[in-house]
Homo-oligomer: A and B are copies of this chain.
């Protein structure tokens, strides 16, 4: 679970910005972050960390398979720890809570798409939205 070490092993340098962002992610549980949120957290620990650096660090962490990102239909990208338990996500338009869908659901959706359209490697980098039970 030492992300900085993963970076090192893969030939990336350990810098303060990267350590800060890794620490935030390591302690995040399985929270979903916008880049802004992550930047805000990072700045609390080092006020010089730039938004561009956050973007670049996230790109690196995605490259070494620590995190993944998805896109919302409206609004910014969402970053979170890569997990073997989930693929697809859904966000409540009202309370903004993000729910991870079960991997089995993701698989069923991919199968449906494949059978209907004959496409392969269907992209899952977007976030469904709707209204959750509590908001109805």
> A99 touches which one: B112, B119, B126, B131 (CB < 8 A)?
B119
Q: How many copies does the complex hold?
A: 2
| A125 contacts partner chain B, Cβ-Cβ < 8 Å | yes
> A130 touches which one: B93, B105, B122, B129 (CB < 8 A)?
B122
Task: Say yes or no: A105-B101 contact (C-beta < 8 A), given A73-B125, A126-B126.
Answer: no
| A108 contacts partner chain B, Cβ-Cβ < 8 Å | yes
Q: A: which residues have CB within 8 A of B?
A: 71, 73, 90, 92-93, 99, 101-102, 105, 108-109, 112-113, 115-123, 125-126, 128-133, 136
| CB <8 Å contact, B120 and A130 | yes
A108 cross-chain contacts in B, Cβ below 8 A:
112
A117 cross-chain contacts in B, Cβ below 8 A:
90, 99, 101, 128, 130, 132
Known: A92-B119, A117-B130, A118-B133. 14 other contacts (CB 8 A): A73-B126, A90-B113, A101-B117, A105-B112, A105-B115, A108-B112, A109-B109, A109-B113, A112-B112, A119-B131, A119-B133, A122-B129, A122-B130, A123-B128
